A and B are shown apart, each in its own frame.
Chain A
Amino acid sequence: GQSLEQPSEVTAVEGAIVQINCTYQTSGFYGLSWYQQHDGGAPTFLSYNALDGLEETGRFSSFLSRSDSYGYLLLQELQMKDSASYFCAVRAGTASKLTFGTGTRLQVTL
């Protein structure tokens, strides 16, 4: 099976930079995804890494190190609307399904 670890909570100030880490254990790894979920909402896709390195999409970047079974989501220029839960998810095994981490709740303060 797969297991993922990410911090349960992170707090940061508006305008700052925050990094949310994710370590995973899995066999047949294909890629690591990140999803955002606001309270009462549905998860929405943020990014996907299949190869080592950094992927940048606007204020958000995601990094993967396959050799370390580790990735992170970097959020820059934090805004209040970024307060949400962030989930890492591995694509492995059959490569058609995702296994989600337990989520990191990000609180952005003034």
Chain B
Amino acid sequence: DAGVIQSPRHEVTEMGQEVTLRCKPISGHDYLFWYRQTMMRGLELLIYFNNNVPIDDSGMPEDRFSAKMPNASFSTLKIQPSEPRDSAVYFCASRTGRGRTNEQYFGPGTRLTVT
């Protein structure tokens, strides 16, 4: 398996622009998670899905952020409008609903810079 795939790997945009981050989870995984990582705030869970349904979006910072999972193999995280404080590395992770450890498999991340 190719692992979790994220695109783009790097994104540089100007304040006010719309940004869309994409994620393809590992085939067969039931859960998909979106995280944001910064030096100041560490690794924060933004939202997670189970079987394509959003379960907990309490970590989404504000209405400018939205996430969708239209099918089991694709999810998007959208920021509109973007602000400089959104600059961070955004990780997507997935895991199976079975197993003891609940191991999450992380994608390589998207490094977002908003100028």
Contact = CB atoms under 8 A, between A and B. Distances in A.
Nearest to B47: A97
A48 B102 contact: yes
Given A33-B101, A94-B55, A100-B42, A43 B106 contact: yes
Contact of B48 (A48, A91, A96): A96
A42 to B, nearest CB: 4
Chain B interface bracket (under 10, 10 to 19, 20 to 34, 35 or more): 20 to 34
Given A42-B91, A94-B56, A99 B106 contact: no
A50 B102 CA distance: 11
B43 A97 contact: no
Contacts of B91: 42-43
Contact of A97 (B33, B42, B100, B105): B33
Interface of A: 31, 33, 41-45, 47-48, 50, 87, 91, 94-103
Question: Closest 10 A-B residue pairs measured CB to CB?
Answer: A48-B101, A42-B106, A45-B103, A100-B43, A102-B42, A43-B106, A42-B108, A97-B48, A42-B109, A97-B45
